[in-house]
Structure 1
Amino acid sequence: MKQINRLPLALALIGVLASGAALAHSEQHDMQPDMMVVKEQKPWGIAGDREQVTRTIEIGMSDQMRFSPDQLEFKQGETVRFVHRNAGMMMHEFVLGAKADLDAHAAMMVKFPGMEHDEPYMAHVAPGKDAEIIWTFNRAGEFDFACLIAGHYQAGMVGRIRVLTD
């Protein structure tokens, strides 16, 4: 009876399965203009519609673990198109949220750095690439944004947003 060497098949299978983890923070998450977005009300707002955009804000991301700008202010009800530009050599992300939510998510990312996640309030941006999200700030308050890739949040890659009532 001829014995089959299963090592090449096993290695190929591992490669296919591992590629999903490798893509967890890649272009697969970049928001495409025609991508269907599930809208869920969050304390910091809700996914917006492209037709309702009132202004565009460019957010720079750097390997110095900083956003530029890192302080933003909007009026309640404003729909914003964020364009994220990663000028660095490593993956970065932009995640909107309340500080407690970002803290919890950052802790999970340290434990499970390859974890896949894709929500309308986050953008994953490969080195030298751009990505965007459209968000409606329909709740007043102070909120945060951060890069939650393990080590980036802890290094200070964060920003603040104030949403003011009229």
Structure 2
Amino acid sequence: MNTTNTTTRRQFQLGLLALPWALSLPAAHAHGDQHGKAASTVVKEQKPWGIAGEPGAATRTIDIRMTDDMKLSPNHLEVREGETLRLRAINKGKVMHEIVLGTGADLRAHAEMMKKHPGMEHDEPYMAHVPAGKTGDIVWTFNRPGDFEFACLIAGHFEAGMRGTIRVKPKA
């Protein structure tokens, strides 16, 4: 038996073994899809910049306008440690935009990944993907003081300057 046939047979067998596992994975949403956060349970995972908040606990709503000139307005937010906000992303443009919360390093790394994989699929409570003319909400509890960021990570938007800063001030 030649080596090529043996290798091909092994690869096929491994693929068959992996198939049940792959089929058991949950379906993900692409950036172009309308994400259904309301229909799914939000997983609350502590991040350096906070944790997903309960909609009823939001003490204020901040509208963040997104435009096709690659601007976010406002582009700086001041928050008190422990405050839960509803960040309402309003897409005033004609193309898809998003807002993603994180550390500067996390957002830069994610932006690089998005350039390599523009159709990357994901949906996290610290992200809002917003089609043209629509709105999307992030409800977030900023339970750690520090300087963080928010940005649109769709390929090219981050590099064009579509980002802002968040300063979380320690409790008084």
Q: Give TM-score scaled by structure 2 length.
A: 0.80
- Out of 81, 87, 98, which is 1:82 matched to? 87
**C-alpha contact 1:31 1:131 (8 A) present in aligned 2:** no
**C-alpha contact 1:27 1:125 (8 A) present in aligned 2:** no
Structure-2 residue corresponding to 1:44: 49
Structure-1 residue corresponding to 2:22: none
Give the % identical residues.
61
> Structure 2 counterpart of 1:29, which letter?
H
- Out of 112, 123, 145, which is 2:150 matched to? 145
Q: What does the per-residue CA deviation read over 1:6-65, in whole Å, with 9 as the maximum and x for residues that have no partner? A: xxxxxxxxxxxxxx99x6113432543x64100000000000001211110001000000
Q: Which runs of 5+ in 1 are unaligned?
A: 1-19
* Residue aligned with 1:109, SS: helix
> Structure 1 counterpart of 2:113, which letter?
M
The alignment of Structure 1 onto Structure 2 pairs a total of residues equal to: 145
Structure-1 residue corresponding to 2:9: none
User: Do structure 1's residue 57 and structure 2's residue 40 form an aligned pair?
Assistant: no
* Residue aligned with 1:151, SS: coil
Q: How does 1:112-151 map to 2 (within 5 A)?
A: 112-151=117-156
Instruction: Tell me, in whole angstroms, the C-alpha distance in 1 between the residues paired with 2:57 and 2:75.
Output: 24
* Residue aligned with 1:103, SS: helix
**C-alpha contact 2:114 2:120 (8 A) present in aligned 1:** yes
**C-alpha contact 2:151 2:162 (8 A) present in aligned 1:** yes
> Structure 1 counterpart of 2:130, which letter?
V
**C-alpha contact 1:30 1:124 (8 A) present in aligned 2:** no
Instruction: Tell me, in whole angstroms, the C-alpha distance in 2 between the residues paired with 1:133 and 1:30.
Output: 12
Residues 30, 155 of structure 1: alpha-carbon distance in 2 compared, 3 angstrom cutoff: farther
Q: Which runs of 5+ in 2 are unaligned?
A: 1-26
* Residue aligned with 1:108, SS: helix
Q: What does the per-residue CA deviation read over 1:69-104, in whole Å, with 9 as the maximum and x for residues that have no partner? A: 000000000000111110000000000000000011
